[in-house]
Amino acid sequence: MARVNLLPWRIERRKQRERGFYMQLIAAAMVALVVVIGWSMWMGLRIDYQNERNAYMQIQIHQLDTKIAQIKNLDKVRQRLLARKKIIEKLQSSRAQMVHLFDELVKRTPPSIRLTTMQQQGQSMTLKGVAQSDAAVATYMRNLATSPWMGPVDLKKTENVSGESRMPYQFALTVKLGMPESRPAGASSSTAPRATMRIVAGPAQMSRSAAHTSSKKTALPPVVHVAESMTRGGNHR
């Protein structure tokens, strides 16, 4: 016998479709929920990893800041050591300079000059003393100017304070200090006598130089001029 379905088949098929749709919707929601949970966990892990990296970078930056501060301190120490080294080198060079300077002062000072004060300030030296005449001061200035350890000489003053004294003239002059220039090995030693000849000056030349340095020049007898010239010549020899 043939079986005949008397129920409305359209209603049954609609219900089946509705059940399938709901099942798919529930499955999609579950899949979306799993995806959201997985994404959240993954982002949390990334955030934790980035926080760890940030903490590591902060530690490294702090260490670098500490090293930079130490390097700055080392630079300051280096600058102080270099300054001390320069001072020591300057003292070492000036120690030999002072020895040669005193030796040159003894050699270049004629008998008609007597020093009373000597003061050094940097590379400049102030000399004060008394002299027999303005010509003696002019000769002394030329002697100092030809010294390899001294430079230009600047006369500050010269005046006659006591006409009856043996050395009535007071003077003050400033000398620039320096170092001798190195000469070639093959240079002839004959230049020394020529330098000595330039130091020695005759009475007429000394009188002309003295006339420019002071208006209070006192004329000496010719015999005194000859005696002074012979004395200076003997000292330079």
Question: pLDDT per residue over 44-102, tens digit each?
Answer: 999 999 999 999 999 999 999 999 999 999 989 999 999 999 888 877 776 777 788 88
Given a cut of 60, is residue 33 above it in pLDDT? yes
Given a cut of 70, is residue 122 above it in pLDDT? yes
Over residues 37-44, mean pLDDT: 93
Q: How confident is the model at residue 30 (pLDDT cuts 50, 70, 90)?
A: very high
Residue among 137, 180, 179 nearest 158 (CA): 137
Over residues 32-49, mean pLDDT: 93
Given a cut of 60, is residue 170 above it in pLDDT? yes
Burial of residue 109 (CB within 10 Å: 0-12, 13-18, 19+) is middle
- Please give the Cα distance from 156 to 87 (Å, whole number): 31
Tokens in use for 133? 């005449």
Mean pLDDT value across the chain: 75
State pTM to two decimals.
0.42
Share of the chain above pLDDT 90, in %: 31
Per-residue pLDDT, 104 = 86
Over residues 138-156, mean pLDDT: 87
Tokens in use for 58? 């902060």
- Please give the Cα distance from 207 to 133 (Å, whole number): 9
Per-residue pLDDT, 214 = 40
Per-residue pLDDT, 12 = 81
Tokens in use for 168? 């009535």
Over residues 196-202, mean pLDDT: 35
Contacts of 35 (CB under 8 A, 6+ apart): none
Residue among 167, 159, 150 nearest 213 (CA): 159
Q: How far is CA 44 from the centre of its chain?
A: 59
Contacts of 127 (CB under 8 A, 6+ apart): 115, 117, 118, 172, 173, 174, 175
Domains of the chain by start residue, with CATH: 105-179+195-217 (3.30.1360.100)
Contacts of 199 (CB under 8 A, 6+ apart): 108, 139, 142, 143, 146, 236
